[in-house]
Structure 1
Amino acid sequence: MRVLFASTSGSGHFHPLVPLIDACTARGDDVLVVAPPGLEAALAAREQPYRIGAEPPGDELTRVMTRVLELPPDDGVSLMTREVFGRLRIAAMLPALEAACREWRPDLVLHEAYEFASVVAAERQGIPHARVAVSAARFARSTDTLLRPVLEPYGPGIVERLRASPYLTRLPASLDPSPYAVTHRYHETPEPGALPDWWGGAEEPLVYLTLGTEAGAVPTAGGLYRAALEAVSGLPVRVLLTAGHGTDLPGLGPIPPHVHVEPWVPQADVLGSASLVVCHGGSGTAFGALAAGVPLVCVPLFADQPVNARLVTEAGAGLAVTPTGGPADHAAVLGADDISRIRSAAELVLKEPSYRARAARLADEMRATATCGELIDTLDPRS
């Protein structure tokens, strides 16, 4: 089978495709990945062939993103969906994806949930397509309603066909019921490695502190990390902080001896040893933690993070600490009250075993779903 994978920029959008790319490769399928220039370095480090499309005009993208960051969170998400993932990125990526579909003739197109140019290209060539979730279904459904003005010009009924296409998600039904008629649930099978002993033989519980792969690039990242470190630094724990490659690590200030800081560590390695994850509720971190049976304290800032934090708390697998100003934009700053609340939440989740027990039950439910290879077998249009 020939499978074309399509992604927008950003690790949180590309990483959910990786286990499916690997599963196709293991099956002996021919794989082609089409993505914007921002992912070229990641694709060049892998073995699969790829093609690079285009980015939207820089000045126009900057104008839209400036407006996004000035708006309240929900309005910012709406504008981002319509203008960035919709109008601008469809126009930029469509030539490369149409050429790939026309020349390479895939049997199936798998796209992450916010890459829509591949849907247009697949529809025009009569190629089956399916979308890979990067967030909770309830969040995806809320943004679906924004797509009609940007997708309908590419073909009548395309929004309905997108919604009717297979929806592939790692989340279990009890946590995230799906509104999509054709929903396939699956799980990854990571092989955690051992963490280095950065704490000199200490055996206190390990708290994993992260704001994901993108937050380190925002101007206030240093302040966010310092506040989060202050929240957990007084606890009787070991702390691993992954700050991202864009963060000024020396700018974090003095690091307590029981805290170790790295730009990046394989998530599976950390989650194999962690007792608690403190994060902003990004999908990759939150759902990875649940798949490993690790409870969370979520501090939601923007995008889908408030929805993810609610899912975690509703499931009893952790707590949410919404900043005192509410879920904020990228300029969010955590105040003294927020720091105290994060510390109290972390203490409670570490102390009360029910949080870990409920996270473990979700992990069991996730492991009962199809493997990535079994999922690809199901989607193979030749079978």
Structure 2
Amino acid sequence: MRVLFTSPAGLGHFTPLLPFIDACIARGDEVLVVVPPGLEQTLIDRGLPFRLGTEPDPVAHAAIRERLPEASRAEAAVLINREYFGRLCTAALLPTLEEACREWQPDLILHDPCEYASAVVAERLGIRHAQVGTSPAEIEAYSLDLAAPALEPYGGRLVDRLFATPYLTRFPASLDPSPYRTTIRFRDAVAPVGIASTPHWSAESDGPLVYVTFGTVSGGLPSGPAACRVALQAVAGLPVRVLLSGGRATDLSELGPLPDNVRVQEWVSAPEVFAAASAVVCHGGAGTTFGALAAGLPLVVMPLFADQPTNARLVEQAGAGVVVAPTGGAADTMGLPGPADVPRLRSAIEAVLADPSYRTAAQRIAAEMRAQPTAAETLDALEES
């Protein structure tokens, strides 16, 4: 079987596809990946065959980024989901995807739910396709509804067809009720991409390891470095070891002096760090949040934008972590993390480390996730459906 995989730029969108790529390769299927240029190095590192599309229009993209810091949550959701993913990303990737599908003739397309060009091509050419969720299903459905006006030029029934298309998700049913008509849950077990070694501390540093990350996207926005600075102040002097991953888009020189108990790396392998950590402090991005839960780790979540407030709410409702929403913005915006958030974040970190109920809840979710079918079993079920 020939299987084509596609997603927007960003590891958070691409990583959920990896279990299926690995499963296809293991069973001898032919694989092709079609993505924007921003993922080229990841594909080279993994030795995957690929074709690169084009980046979204840079002028229009820059205009969206400039509006985001001052936008309300509702306005930001429209800018990201309708204008960026729905309009710009679809137009940019569509020509390459259509050419690849006509020439390579895949039997199946697996795509990120926000990668709409693949759905357009699949519907045009009669190719089976399924979505592999990045965020909780309620967020994916909300994003699709917001993107709908930008997708109208590609056919009035496209949105309806996407709600009827099989939706594959690694998130457990207890946290993630789904509005998609066919929802298939799978167990996420991905080999790390280019493992980066966890740094060592001096012999006298033997406290629990707290992993801090605010994602790959936020590093290029004002909120990312601001959150990192707040986190560094919050952990200073705590009896813990702290590993902060700033992301390749973060200018680490902006972070200032580091506390003695902190090590900073541009990028680390999350699965490796999860295996050693006692707690995770993050922005609530789906990859980090649910990766930590799959490892049975409690979280402290400081949501910044997009699906992060929803992910944070789900974690808190499950009893698996504490939410520290930034206080620096207006009532309907997330705002920038600031000095007032330092003691709140510090208290939250102390709480999840001291109270075993948070770890117990996270481990309960991890057990539920481990009981889900593997990606290979999910592919078999998808073929039989």
> Once the 2 structures are TM-superposed, how far is the Cα of residue 56 of structure 1 from its aligned partner?
2.5
Which residue matches 2:157?
157
Give unmatched runs, 5+ long, in structure 2: none
SS of the aligned residue for 1:370 comes to coil
Given that 2:237 and 2:259 are in contact with CA atoms closer than 8 Å, whether structure 1 keeps it comes out as: no
1:161-208 deviation digits (Å, cap 9, x = unpaired): 111101111110001111112111111224688954611233211111
Given that 2:327 and 2:336 are in contact with CA atoms closer than 8 Å, whether structure 1 keeps it comes out as: no
Equivalence map 1:256-271=2 (5 Å): 256-271=259-274
The 2-side partners of 1:330 and 1:21 are apart by 37
SS of the aligned residue for 1:144 comes to helix
> Once the 2 structures are TM-superposed, how far is the Cα of residue 337 of structure 1 from its aligned partner?
2.3
- Compared CA separation, residues 251 and 194, structure 1 to 2 (3 A): closer
- Compared CA separation, residues 64 and 190, structure 1 to 2 (3 A): closer
- Compared CA separation, residues 51 and 215, structure 1 to 2 (3 A): same
Amino acid at match of 2:78: S
1:97-134 deviation digits (Å, cap 9, x = unpaired): 11111111111100011100000000001011111111
1:143-168 deviation digits (Å, cap 9, x = unpaired): 22123322232123111111110111
- Compared CA separation, residues 191 and 24, structure 1 to 2 (3 A): closer
> Once the 2 structures are TM-superposed, how far is the Cα of residue 53 of structure 1 from its aligned partner?
1.1
Matched, 1:313 2:312: no
Which residue matches 1:213?
216
Percent identical pairs in the alignment equals 55
Which residue matches 1:365?
368
SS of the aligned residue for 2:300 comes to strand
The 1-side partners of 2:116 and 2:190 are apart by 28
Match of 1:375 among 366, 374, 378: 378
The 2-side partners of 1:219 and 1:181 are apart by 38
Given that 2:12 and 2:286 are in contact with CA atoms closer than 8 Å, whether structure 1 keeps it comes out as: yes
Which residue matches 1:336?
339
Matched, 1:170 2:199: no
Matched, 1:118 2:107: no
> Once the 2 structures are TM-superposed, how far is the Cα of residue 329 of structure 1 from its aligned partner?
10
Which residue matches 1:15?
15
The 2-side partners of 1:190 and 1:123 are apart by 30
> Once the 2 structures are TM-superposed, how far is the Cα of residue 142 of structure 1 from its aligned partner?
1.3
1:252-288 deviation digits (Å, cap 9, x = unpaired): 2222222111111110111011111011111111010
Which residue matches 1:200?
202
SS of the aligned residue for 1:340 comes to helix
> Once the 2 structures are TM-superposed, how far is the Cα of residue 61 of structure 1 from its aligned partner?
2.1
> Once the 2 structures are TM-superposed, how far is the Cα of residue 345 of structure 1 from its aligned partner?
0.9
The 2-side partners of 1:328 and 1:45 are apart by 43
Given that 2:218 and 2:224 are in contact with CA atoms closer than 8 Å, whether structure 1 keeps it comes out as: yes
The 2-side partners of 1:72 and 1:330 are apart by 5
Amino acid at match of 1:310: R
Which residue matches 1:2?
2
Given that 1:211 and 1:279 are in contact with CA atoms closer than 8 Å, whether structure 2 keeps it comes out as: yes
> Once the 2 structures are TM-superposed, how far is the Cα of residue 331 of structure 1 from its aligned partner?
9.1
TM-align CA RMSD:
2.1
SS of the aligned residue for 1:147 comes to helix
Amino acid at match of 2:270: Q
Larger deviation, residues 154-163 vs 295-304: 154-163
- Equivalences, count: 382
Match of 2:249 among 246, 249, 252: 246
Which residue matches 2:238?
235
The 1-side partners of 2:332 and 2:262 are apart by 27
The 2-side partners of 1:328 and 1:111 are apart by 35
Give unmatched runs, 5+ long, in structure 1: none
- Compared CA separation, residues 380 and 241, structure 1 to 2 (3 A): same
Given that 1:306 and 1:327 are in contact with CA atoms closer than 8 Å, whether structure 2 keeps it comes out as: no
Given that 1:108 and 1:129 are in contact with CA atoms closer than 8 Å, whether structure 2 keeps it comes out as: yes
Which residue matches 2:30?
30
Amino acid at match of 1:349: V
- Compared CA separation, residues 219 and 183, structure 1 to 2 (3 A): same
The 1-side partners of 2:257 and 2:244 are apart by 13
Given that 1:300 and 1:327 are in contact with CA atoms closer than 8 Å, whether structure 2 keeps it comes out as: no
Equivalence map 1:89-108=2 (5 Å): 89-108=89-108
Matched, 1:302 2:305: yes
Which residue matches 2:49?
49
Which residue matches 2:281?
278
The 2-side partners of 1:70 and 1:333 are apart by 11
Larger deviation, residues 149-158 vs 235-244: 149-158
The 2-side partners of 1:216 and 1:33 are apart by 26
Given that 2:209 and 2:278 are in contact with CA atoms closer than 8 Å, whether structure 1 keeps it comes out as: yes
The 2-side partners of 1:292 and 1:205 are apart by 16
**TM-score under structure 1 length normalisation:** 0.94
Matched, 1:352 2:358: no
The 1-side partners of 2:355 and 2:248 are apart by 34
The 1-side partners of 2:43 and 2:299 are apart by 31
Amino acid at match of 2:80: M
SS of the aligned residue for 2:186 comes to strand
